[in-house]
Structure 1
């Protein structure tokens, strides 16, 4: 299978296609709550998409002040094409948008802990969170 992936910064993304991508990627998100997904899209500061012949196959969704730090809230790639460099390229494009003066932070699932160091992230131990209720 030859991929013809096109990347775009702040592409239009619909809740339905984001839901399908989240399901295909294995990322745990509220895939059946389309209004919530739509709000997640609308409130993001940066969304970078990867599309193969128009189909959403990868996304990076981030919240930032464009000055000091950026939180990468979603990095998802369709499982069937993971390990093809799409996630790495999404992060690279996000870093280009942010510039070198902005730090990039994220929370990783247990399954992804080995992945992030491979694409340039350093593991940190000094963090806290208050979990959402649903």
Structure 2
């Protein structure tokens, strides 16, 4: 049984551990604790999935204005728990917390591009990015 909750105080170490057990660590600054800490503390919605034993098996981290748009910036599920609907449920749960009236927006990792249409999301033909000066964009990194 998996439980879903909001965890605004999720620790950086726990988050990084999950990123490493998913495929997302290759595209996140897991070796820069100050950045990870800032990512967590400035997020508006941190939805988690935990196993019966209490271990973290999934997380969805979002930034939102709670009225018009919600940017789902991280979706990570432990590889041992994938294909059980946890990612879909985390998306639904975090979107509910941000407000279903908001548009849910995300950038898909190349390996996950086929997943999002499968769960009912539609592709948008245009995305524009101004990349950070010192941080390579996740699409430039090899998984």
So what's the TM-score if we normalise by structure 1?
A: 0.92
- How far off its partner does 1:68 sit? 0.5
In the comparison of the two structures, how many residue pairs are matched?
A: 131
Aligned-residue CA RMSD (Å): 1.2
Could you say which residue in structure 2 is the equivalent of 1:118?
Answer: 118
Q: In the aligned structure 1, how far is the partner of 2:105 from the partner of 2:85?
A: 20
- Aligned position for 2:79: 79
1:18 equivalent to 2:18? Answer no
- Which digits, 9 at most, give the CA deviation of each residue in 1:39-77, with x for residues without a partner? 111000000001112211100000010000010000000
Matched, 1:92 2:92: yes
**What is the CA distance between 1:19 and its match in structure 2?**
0.5
Moved over 2 A (4+): none
Equivalent residue in structure 2 for 1:7, among 4, 19, 28: 4
Higher relative contact order (CA 8 A, sep 6+): 2
Residue aligning to 2:104:
104
| Range that drifts further, 89-98 or 59-68 | 89-98
* Cα distance change on mapping 1:10 and 1:17 into 2, 3 Å: closer
Point out where structure 1 has 5 or more consecutive residues left out of the alignment: none
Per the alignment, in what secondary structure is the counterpart of residue 61 of structure 1?
A: strand
Q: d(CA) in 1 for partners of 2:46 and 2:97? A: 11
Question: 1:11 offset after TM fit, Å?
Answer: 4.6
Unaligned runs of 5+ residues in structure 2 are: 136-143
CA distance in 1, matches of 2:115, 2:63: 21
Matched residue, 2:140: none
